[in-house]
A and B are shown apart, each in its own frame.
Chain A
Amino acid sequence: MTREKKALGAAILASGLALGGAFVFGKTLQQQARADSHQQPAVAETWLFSPPAPSPEMAVAGQKLFLNSCAHCHGADAHGDEGPDLHGVQVSDRRIVNVIKNGIQGEMPSFAKKHSEAEIAELLAYVRSLN
């Protein structure tokens, strides 16, 4: 076997190992992020207001707000982009509202100044309508 052929075999092996290693590393990080995102809110994250029961009208209004404020990271279809997929989220309304209001340090900004409580309730209705 020539030197070039041996090198080709090694190159294919190295490529496979590099891509496989990246895949395993990525999956590990995904699992870690998923675990972090399902942590319970801290005591300081209090339930500041009770959003009204979601209605289809609120969900429609929430979708407009979502497209302006959230689609950049969560994708226009809310299937995730830089941020996670929001379809079928398995967290409480309280958790969703707290994340929108307070953000997640280093991951997501707070929208407390940008959106009123009524608007956050509409965003919540839209997120719930994705289920």
Chain B
Amino acid sequence: MDSEFWAKIHGASTHLPLALAGCSWLFDAAGLALARRPAGPQLNIAGYWTMLLAGLGTFPAVASGLLMTKGQMLGHDLVRFHHLFVWPAFGLLVGLATWRAMVGTMTRRGVFGCYLAVGFTAAALVAGAGYFGGEMLLGH
């Protein structure tokens, strides 16, 4: 299958983990803020599952990107900027999803705060990767 096919698959597969990672962070932050209310634990359950799905969703997104570019991992200009955000975001999202899968829906408040800080970094990196991905398509 050619690059044009994988470009379509890449476009279709990247937005889901991007949205899930952002939603997971919002659910968990809200769950932490509302921990003493009935909705708090429910929000953390939603954050748990959306993070797991975001972690899984990164694999088709990365694989389709590599297939589209014939294995280019850094490149030049906008592609380089895109990749400089993609690789740390990919590593962080896989790590966060693994950590969350083992820890469960909630843990100690301080530790969970650290998780949210790293999650915010990952979401920001994913947003940066998405921005430069969009610039490649629409910026010229």
Q: Which residues of A contact B (CB under 8 A)?
A: 3-4, 6-8, 10-16, 18-19, 22-23, 25-33, 72, 75-77, 79-82, 105-107
Contacts and interface: CB of A to CB of B under 8 A. Distances in A.
21 contacts: A7-B98, A10-B98, A11-B94, A11-B95, A18-B91, A18-B94, A19-B87, A19-B91, A22-B63, A25-B66, A30-B70, A30-B71, A75-B76, A75-B77, A77-B76, A80-B76, A81-B77, A81-B78, A82-B136, A105-B2, A106-B4
Contact of A18 (B4, B66, B78, B90): B90
Nearest to A4: B111
B73 interface: yes
Interface string B93-120: 0111111001100011001000000000
B73 A26 contact: yes
Interface of B: 1-5, 58-59, 62-63, 66-67, 69-73, 75-79, 87, 90-92, 94-99, 102-103, 107-108, 111, 136, 140
Nearest to A23: B73
Contacts, number: 99
A8 B103 CA distance: 9
A99 to B, nearest CB: 15
A22 B90 contact: yes
Contacts of B102: 3, 6-7, 10-11
B133 to A, nearest CB: 12
B76 A22 contact: no
A75 B77 CA distance: 7
B3 A106 contact: yes
Contacts of B59: 18
Contacts of B98: 7, 10-11, 13-15
Contacts of A6: 102
